[in-house]
């Protein structure tokens, strides 16, 4: 079942789109089922779960942190995390830089942008982001690598609205690429799309989809 789902996505998704299998709350045995059919990219949103799974599981897994990150917990994942999807404040970015430096790494990050109508979702608005990017302090951060943007659309049946929100993110990425990141070939990612809206996200230029429940089944919190 799960193996078939993984194979379905790997076949279905365009080559330009990376599958992040969101394994949060799911046991290691299930993740191993996906691993055993060749999928090695997983997303988690709780630090203690991510650390435990990293320690217990094969070391060639690429771990993505997709949740809201607290500054005092960065140190636990700094040695191994592959990409932090949801950087939503300058304070957090500076703290990631500091922890990355301590372990002699450059940590890949995405800026989370608030694109949904709900105000429950985290993320920068445009003016906060431009202020950050224009600051000298930002240019001094040597141990982070900004690879693009992440966003979550409103939870709604209105496909036009979802498409518009994803398009907003895609347009912002293009604008930032031109103004701030034209010299960084890694700045190219758009992490957008989940089980319910990944097709719309891909139409709007997503390069990373974060699929949880459709692969692993519904979650019991």
Shortest distance, position 66 Cβ to ligand PLP, whole Å: 4
- Nearer to ligand PLP among residue 123 and residue 187 (C-beta): 123
Query: DSSP letter at 114?
Result: -
Exposure string for 80-117, b = 16+ CB within 10 A, e = fewer: bbbbbbbbbbbebbbbbbbbbbeeebebbbbbbbbbbe
Q: Is 66 in the site for ligand PLP (CB under 6 A)?
A: yes
Taking residues 160 to 199 in sequence order and writing x for each that binds ligand PLP by CB under 6 A, - otherwise, the string is ----------------------------------xxx---
Query: DSSP letter at 118?
Result: S
- Nearer to ligand PLP among residue 115 and residue 141 (C-beta): 115
* Rounded Cα distance, 62 and 59, in Å: 8
Q: Is 151 in the site for ligand PLP (CB under 6 A)?
A: no
Q: Are 146 and 109 spatial neighbours (Cβ–Cβ below 8 Å)?
A: yes
Taking residues 67 to 106 in sequence order and writing x for each that binds ligand PLP by CB under 6 A, - otherwise, the string is x---------------------------------------
DSSP bridge partners of 19: 209
* Rounded Cα distance, 19 and 124, in Å: 24
Residue ranges in 197-216 that form contacts with ligand PLP under rule CB under 6 A: 210-214
CB atoms within 10 A of CB 154: 15
* Rounded Cα distance, 147 and 191, in Å: 10
Shortest distance, position 127 Cβ to ligand PLP, whole Å: 23
In 3D space, the residue among 162, 141, 153 whose CA is nearest the CA of residue 191 turns out to be 153
Total residues binding ligand PLP (CB under 6 A): 13
Shortest distance, position 87 Cβ to ligand PLP, whole Å: 13
Shortest distance, position 172 Cβ to ligand PLP, whole Å: 18
Taking CB under 6 A as the criterion, the residue among 5, 35, 45, 63 binding ligand PLP is 45
- Nearer to ligand PLP among residue 141 and residue 151 (C-beta): 151
Q: Is 114 in the site for ligand PLP (CB under 6 A)?
A: no
Our measurement of the distance from residue 12's CA atom to the centroid of its chain's CA atoms, rounded to an integer in Å, reads 20
Per CB under 6 A, residues contacting ligand PLP are 22, 24, 45, 66-67, 194-196, 210-214
């Amino acid at each position: 079942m799960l193996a078939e789902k993984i194979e379905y996505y790997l076949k279905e998704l365009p080559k330009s789109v990376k599958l992040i299998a969101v394994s949060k709350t799911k046991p290691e045995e299930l993740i191993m089922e996906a691993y055993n059919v060749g999928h090695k990219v997983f997303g988690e949103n709780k630090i203690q779960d991510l650390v435990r799974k990293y320690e217990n599981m094969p070391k060639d897994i690429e771990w993505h942190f997709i949740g809201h990150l607290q500054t005092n917990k960065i140190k636990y994942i700094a040695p191994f995390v592959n990409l932090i999807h949801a950087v939503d404040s300058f304070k957090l970015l500076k703290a990631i830089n500091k922890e990355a430096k301590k372990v002699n790494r450059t940590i890949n990050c995405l800026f989370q942008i608030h694109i949904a109508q709900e105000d429950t979702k985290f993320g920068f608005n445009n003016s906060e982001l431009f202020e950050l990017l224009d600051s000298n302090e930002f240019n001094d951060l040597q141990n982070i690598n900004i690879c693009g943007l992440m966003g979550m659309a409103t939870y709604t049946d209105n496909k036009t609205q979802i498409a518009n929100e994803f398009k907003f993110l895609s347009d912002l990425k293009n604008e930032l690429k031109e103004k701030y990141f034209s010299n960084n070939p890694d700045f190219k990612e758009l992490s957008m799309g989940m089980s319910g809206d990944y097709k719309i996200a891909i139409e709007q230029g997503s390069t990373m989809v974060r699929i949880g429940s459709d692969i692993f089944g519904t979650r019991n919190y």
